[in-house]
């Protein structure tokens, strides 16, 4: 597995990967339609170097992650983290999150906040993120999601070098 910055022409195929990945939890069509806007990889984020992809030796895309800055807080937010359904639980998600953590740590973020899908909460706990509270979903009115924080100054994060097999 290789990690690299996303390329402009990949925005749509990566957005499609996000939708497939999200749908793997069994959400229905109405939920997926309501979530569509929040599952898009934006050109601007690619341009700013905030989108990373994982690919295999053949160049097949295995997952995508991106982040944003939360204004005036010194914190970054994980925007997207989606692994292709066929390669989940093989270390791709952790490797992509390691890449985001490295990028925001290099840019001196104090913490990375994560508004998580409830099905992914165990993954973030395993990574070392702390649960803060339930917070409103950006995409679905009335839905709440677990909010996590990864404190970067304390060196949290797995730092794992485990690779996709």
Ligand X SMILES: CC(C)(COP(=O)(O)OP(=O)(O)OC[C@H]1O[C@@H](n2cnc3c(N)ncnc32)[C@H](O)[C@@H]1OP(=O)(O)O)[C@@H](O)C(=O)NCCC(=O)NCCS
Closest separation between CB of residue 103 and ligand X, Å?
17
* Residue nearest to ligand X as judged by C-beta position: 93
Q: Which of 124, 116, 128, 119 minimizes the C-alpha distance to 154?
A: 128
Q: Collect all residues with Cβ–Cβ distance below 8 Å to 114 and sequence separation of at least 6.
A: 77, 78, 124, 129, 147, 148, 149, 150
**Is residue 163 within the footprint of ligand X (CB under 6 A)?**
no
Which residues in 121-150 contact ligand X (CB under 6 A)? 122-123, 126
CB 88 within 8 A of CB 20: no
Helix (H, G, I), strand (E, B) or coil at 1: coil
Which residues in 6-45 contact ligand X (CB under 6 A)? 21-22, 24
**Is residue 100 within the footprint of ligand X (CB under 6 A)?**
no
**Is residue 81 within the footprint of ligand X (CB under 6 A)?**
yes
Closest separation between CB of residue 96 and ligand X, Å?
7
Burial of 153 (0-12, 13-18, 19+ CB in 10 A): exposed
**Is residue 91 within the footprint of ligand X (CB under 6 A)?**
yes
Helix (DSSP H) and strand (DSSP E) numbers for the chain: 5, 7
Instruction: State which of residues 94, 103, 113, 149 lies at the interface with ligand X (CB under 6 A).
Output: 94
Closest separation between CB of residue 118 and ligand X, Å?
9
Binding site for ligand X (CB under 6 A): 21-22, 24, 81-83, 88-94, 116-117, 119-120, 122-123, 126
């Amino acid at each position: 597995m290789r990690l690299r910055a996303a390329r402009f022409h990949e925005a749509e195929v990566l957005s499609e990967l996000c939708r497939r990945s999200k749908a793997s939890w069994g959400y229905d069509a109405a939920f997926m339609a309501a979530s569509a806007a929040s599952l898009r990889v934006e050109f601007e984020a690619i341009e700013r170097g905030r989108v990373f992809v994982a690919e295999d030796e053949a160049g097949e895309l295995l997952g995508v992650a991106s982040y944003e800055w939360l204004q005036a807080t010194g914190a970054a937010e994980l925007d997207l983290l989606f692994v292709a359904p066929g390669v989940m639980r093989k270390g791709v998600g952790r490797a992509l999150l390691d890449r985001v953590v490295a990028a925001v740590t290099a840019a001196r973020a104090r913490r990375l906040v994560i508004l998580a899908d409830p099905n992914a909460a165990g993954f973030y706990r395993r990574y070392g993120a702390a649960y803060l509270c339930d917070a409103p979903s950006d995409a679905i009115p009335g839905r709440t999601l677990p909010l996590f924080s990864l404190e970067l100054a304390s060196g949290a994060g797995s730092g794992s070098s485990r690779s996709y097999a």
